[in-house]
Chains A and B, each alone.
Chain A
Amino acid sequence: MRTILLIGAVGALAAAVIGAAPVNAAGDAAPVRAYVDETTVTAGAQFMLVIEINGRADELPTMPAVDGLQISARPSTQSTQMEFSSATNTAVSRQKYGYAVYATKPGKITIPPIQIKVEGKAQTTEPIDLTVQDASVPQVRMPRGPAPTQVWPPRVLPQMPQPPAKDNEVSLEEAVVIESHVDKTQVYQGAPVEQTLCIWVLNASGFRVYNYRDQPFEPPSCEGFYPTPLEEDVTETSRDGRAFKAVTYRRTLYPTVAGDLQVGEWGWEGAASYGVREWRIQRKAPAIPIRVMALPDAPPGFSGAVGTYTLAAKLSREDGVQGVPMQLVVTVRGRGNPDAIGAPRMPKVEKAYISDPDRSPAPSEPTGADVEKTFTYTVTPLAPGELSIPPIEYGYFDPGAGAYKTESTQPLLVHVLQSAEYTGPRKLMTQNRDPDPAGSVNMIGDDIFPLAAGPAGLRPVRRSDAMAPAAAAAPVLAYAGVALLMRRKRRFERDPAYARARRARSRAVKRLDAAAGSAEPAEELYRALLGYVADRYNLQETGLTSQEVTQTLEAGHVEAEVKEHVRKILRACERTRYGGAKLSRDEIAALSRGALDAIARLESHGAEAPV
């Protein structure tokens, strides 16, 4: 009881402490308060006027008309906070209303007290003094018209009329501009055309441009061209003396057919906001016609590539071995359509077999029109001696020169060893590794690692699959054996009748063996057989008579023949005991055998007969 009271007291104290803080805070605060997020502002820039009301306002605050300020009629933000006072058991609400304000001219401006009716009483805020500075950056002229009522993102934004601009103002048309350019309008088929798409947005305070409806960027159509992926770049730059943010998209177009083609008209749709006002913007850049000229008749050996290219060839080894393949890597670099770069044609080499080329699985990422493509040939020297691979030629069309050109590599020379002369790969010692004591060397480079040293005791391995099931079964069987033994042991300890019955035979046999050498063999035989029955059926051995034994056997449903056999042995022993006759050695042996036989037959009758 004392504990409950103590807990109750602590709880009440804690509630009082927790509840007291907000009540005091709310109680000490003025019923209404007005403040701005900055008291020095720039003409044309947006700032917030916040009205804070402690209590229930009867109506929304009415904004006064202030010369030099444009205050939004309705709040753009609103929040309510509830506080509970445990002391007075009342709830107090705190509301905040945020109004967007623009200064329209520089100078000192004062926001006069604002009257608000709170819970039936008229409350007044303190006046706020503002300093409005002249704008140093061009301001976006706000189109006239009704204030928008939708919140962002609107489904359809109003298209505003555009009155003529003043000198220090930028019209919405000038604030967002898009442009589409190509670097040339007359090209050969396959030659690269660089296309640039740019969205210019005025970099002015409070002016923002959005991607309207979050649509993905759609470049203009380019039918008849193979375009590369677009690369995006954002920069801040100057345009007509004003600061702009430029989002530029670049790609390379490869004309695939000859004729009069065009890069389609480019349309871009977005939205602009300035303070709380928003406008939908649609811009269009005109289509650009491009004349694509067909290539002149191609000479033999033309690879199909159009552009400017260089060629390099390198062998994987400086010396070769007869019959051992090596790699010849030919690299084509330059400016042009990467998909049009075909494999260089290999010259005929008599002393070697050169395979078909394998193109590099992942060609280097093209940067603009700069590309690199690698072709790997397997060269297998067929004969020892000097192997010369003549210059490899690569024919392409140079659109700048308007003519076909051929690039060629330097001839390659390889010394080819006969197989038997070959003494292993060229050995290069790494700086971090020491040669091992066996004399082999760690190698780096393009060749494979050398042979491994022979392990000690190599011998045929017998798979362990066949042994595994046996190995898995062994512990289970061992556990089963242990469990059975332990169960038997526990039963012996727990169940004396069971223990007696189990031990009855061995005990009786011992007593029968001992009977032959005793002074009273008939007495001992009688006791041994009687003791067996007593153990077997959990009876008191002392005082047990042959008649009781017979009755016990009858109750245990022992066969009549066995029962009679036991009775006869017991009678014979009794006659000898009470008659005083001395049994001969043969008679003792016969009685002992008979007793053993009777025990064996009783054992086979059943382990635990009912008593």
Chain B
Amino acid sequence: MMANILMCVLVGTGAGVYNEEFARAAKAYDAGDYATAIGTYEQMVGESVAHEALFYNLGNAYYRSGRLGAAIANYERALELDPGFDNARENLEKAVRETRQHLARPLPSDWEQSLLFWHYLVSRETTTRLALLFWLGFWVVLGLRQFRPVRYTRPAAAVLAVLALAFGGSAWAKAHGPALAVADADAAVTYGTSESDAVRFELYPGDRVTVDQRRNGWARVKTASGEHGWTRELNLVFVGPPYARMDEAQKPAPGNTTAREKETSAS
């Protein structure tokens, strides 16, 4: 009992601290001190605080400081947690318009979006919860049948099982499917995982791609138009959890050159 009370007090105190930090960052942002705002927000992200408002504000701070890639990644994070966050969507579109290539977000095919609209309309957390809820419901209905036969329990159990499987599959796909990533620096995309491979195309800050494979610090990326190739993971910011800080060194690794640099060195 005492332990529970102590836990509540500790958690409550912690929540207060984070809210104070959030307000402090907003004040710094309003004063034009974007570096302080970013540092404060990122510290909270580093301590596993995840909230759509936090990522949205962090996106604004990065946008103001001219880091389009980080801004777009944070707007995407906010929208992943709350797909109905209109301001985040507007700001994301605005930021994308300012990117060099205006690359569209990689999206599934039209039929997938139409058929699996429920998959794309809810966040991963909600999908997981719904899957567990339907799963629990399925077993409760089966359990009821153990005590006495009730009408319609069989179709009800079947419906619940289908829903649980659908949302479970959706949650699994969200967790294990291609990850959305945003380029945070000029990045050369090559045919293979070697610096000596020919450059296929270039990504610029803010370009969104999906990553379907990761190998030895390299990520295989795919653009909305279907172009794909390998680039260093360091050039990318991953949108999905676990949420990594973006204010830490985002410098290209040694030997990680852009196509332009390659051309210059070749000439």
Q: Taking beta carbons and an 8 Å cutoff, which residues of A are in contact with B? A: 321, 323-325, 327, 358, 361, 378, 380, 419-424, 446-465, 468, 471-472, 475-476, 478-479, 482-483, 486
Contact = CB atoms under 8 A, between A and B. Distances in A.
Nearest to B86: A449
A324 B64 contact: yes
A327 B98 contact: yes
A458 B18 contact: yes
A455 B53 contact: yes
Given A451-B57, A456-B19, A486 B146 contact: yes
A321 B34 CA distance: 13
A325 B133 CA distance: 48
Given A451-B26, A463-B241, A463-B242, A475 B19 contact: no
Given A423-B30, A449-B91, A461 B140 contact: no
A379 to B, nearest CB: 12
B135 interface: yes
A420 to B, nearest CB: 5
A450 B87 CA distance: 8
A35 B129 CA distance: 78
B180 interface: no
Given A421-B32, A479-B142, A483-B146, A448 B60 contact: yes
Contacts of B156: none
Given A452-B87, A454-B22, A472-B132, A358 B66 contact: no
Contacts of B116: none
Given A327-B98, A458-B44, A475 B136 contact: yes
A463 B125 CA distance: 9
B242 to A, nearest CB: 7
Nearest to B53: A452
Contacts of A462: 48
Interface in B137-168: 138-140, 142-143, 146-147
Nearest to A476: B139
B128 to A, nearest CB: 6
Contacts of A455: 51, 53
A452 B242 contact: no
Contacts of B90: 448-449
10 contacts: A325-B66, A420-B33, A448-B60, A458-B19, A462-B48, A464-B125, A464-B128, A468-B171, A479-B139, A482-B143
B108 interface: no
Given A458-B49, A460-B48, 11 more contacts: A358-B102, A419-B34, A446-B94, A448-B95, A451-B30, A451-B56, A454-B23, A454-B53, A460-B14, A468-B128, A486-B146
Give the 3 A-B CB pairs with smallest separation, nearest first. Answer: A475-B139, A458-B18, A460-B48
B49 A461 contact: yes
Interface in B170-229: 171, 175
Nearest to A484: B146
B11 interface: yes
B208 to A, nearest CB: 15
Contacts of B66: 323-325, 380
A325 B98 contact: yes
Interface in B7-65: 11, 14-15, 18-19, 22-23, 26, 29-34, 44, 47-54, 56-57, 60, 63-65
